[in-house]
Structure 1
Amino acid sequence: MPKKIDREERRQQIVRTYLRIADRDGLEAATSRAVALELGVSTGSLWHYFTGFDDVVFRAFQLIFDRTNARITARVGDHGGLRALMALLEEALPVGEETEREALIVTNFWGRASSKPELGRFQSEVGAMWLRQITDHLTQAVDAGELSSATPVQELADVLMVLITGLQVECALKTPLAQTQRQWRMIRHCLSPWLTDTGRTGVGL
């Protein structure tokens, strides 16, 4: 009796293979033929699980953000305020080996957004979610006395969100701005005018 194949698991396997090739050999090398070859199947068999290669690309884009969001949720846990904010930033900024690899792949996807509107829409949804979380953490920090009551919460959240996006591009371009210590100096520069003694001590800024 032929082995029953779990459709969703097979889809995940194809997407993970695509990302593994993109990470190892570059996005241009991650073709449908390369994915099929790595899996040991025919290229045509991939389309039993996806409508086309663009569908694979989109699912891969989603998977990267799903992984990031899962790490953020785990890191933030029950924390709030500045501790939660710093946990989010540590997973969203390209400041480690894993997040640097993700930045290289994600920024390549962004280059396709003009011709693949679904990528842009999904990126906007993720960005809006992160912006809400950043805003909530900053608001909690104000309420906890970690940030001054005069803190322009929404404007500060906007700046931090732009930094997250911009620094991923700098990472992909391998500029000095993407150096880990330099990224954290930018974050400190944004937060420092509003930090109270409690906030400065609590997160070591």
Structure 2
Amino acid sequence: MPKIVDRDARRREIVETYLRLAAAEGVEAVTTRRLASELGVATGGLWHYFSGFDEVLLRAFELIFDRADERIAGVLAQRRGIDALCGLIDQTHPLDGTTGEEAHVVVSFWGRVPFHHELSAVQSRVEEHWHRTYRLALEQAVADGELRAGTPVDALADALLVFVAGYQIEHVLATSLARPDRQWRAVGAVLGPWLTEEAAARGEFARRAAAPV
């Protein structure tokens, strides 16, 4: 009997293998031949599941954000307000091994955007979604008395999203700006003027900025 292959599972395996290689060896090193070799198949075998290498790139880029969104959903299911906001930052800034690895791959992909405009469309969709997510946490913080009435939640959500992209670049460049303590210090500087006295007294951002590097 012919072997039954779960097409979706095989596509996912190919994309996950691509991401693993890209994180370890760099995006430019992961050619069609390298990917096929790692999977133990002939190069042509990849195209039973994808229209071409560009589609692999696109699905890999999307998968990075899908993984982040799964983690974010877990945060929002259990936390709210400033606590949720800190959880969002934990899952999007390059603060640990997982998010740092994602930063390397994402920044590498950005270099391909001039030749693969569909990657830019994915980035735009993700940023719009994350903006709504950040805004929700900020609005909760206002409602819970953690941020002052009149806090410009849209502008703060914009600023926090710019931080994500900026710190991913700084992490890849291995600059001191990407140190976790400095990331949290900057977040605290942006949000600090809008914290209520009670929230400021908790010192959430200062505590994170003071954590051992």
TM-score by length of 1: 0.96
Matched residues in 2 for 1:187 and 1:141: separation?
Answer: 15
**One-letter code of the match for 1:165?**
A
Q: What's the secondary structure of 2:198's corresponding residue?
A: helix
Gaps of 5+ in 1: none
Q: CA RMSD in A?
A: 1.2
Question: 1:9, 1:202 → 2: CA distance?
Answer: 46
Rounded Cα–Cα distance in structure 2 between residues aligned with 1:145 and 1:155: 19
Q: Which runs of 5+ in 2 are unaligned?
A: 206-213
1:49 corresponds to which residue? 49
> What residue number does 1:157 align with?
157
The alpha carbon displacement at 1:194 in A equals 0.9
| Matched-pair contact (CA < 8 Å) for 1:131–1:161 | yes
Matched, 1:73 2:99: no
Identical-pair percentage:
47
Letter in 2 for 1:190: V
Instruction: Within 5 Å, give how 1:25-104 maps onto structure 2.
Output: 25-104=25-104
Q: Secondary structure at the match of 1:114?
A: helix
Aligned length: 205
Q: Give the Cα–Cα distance (whole angstroms) in 2 for the partners of residues 202 and 48 of structure 1.
A: 56
CA deviations over 1:27-84 (Å, ceiling 9, x no partner): 1111110111011110001001000000001000011000011011112213221111
User: How far 1:165 sits from its partner (Å)?
Assistant: 1.1
State the partner residue of 1:7: 7
Aligned partners of 1:180, 1:95: CA distance in 2, in Å? 6
When normalised by structure 2's length, the TM-score is 0.92
Q: Deviations over 1:70-119 (max 9, x none)?
A: 01111221322111111111100001111000000001111111211110
1:128 aligns with 2:145: no
Partner Cα distance (2:78, 2:95) in 1: 23
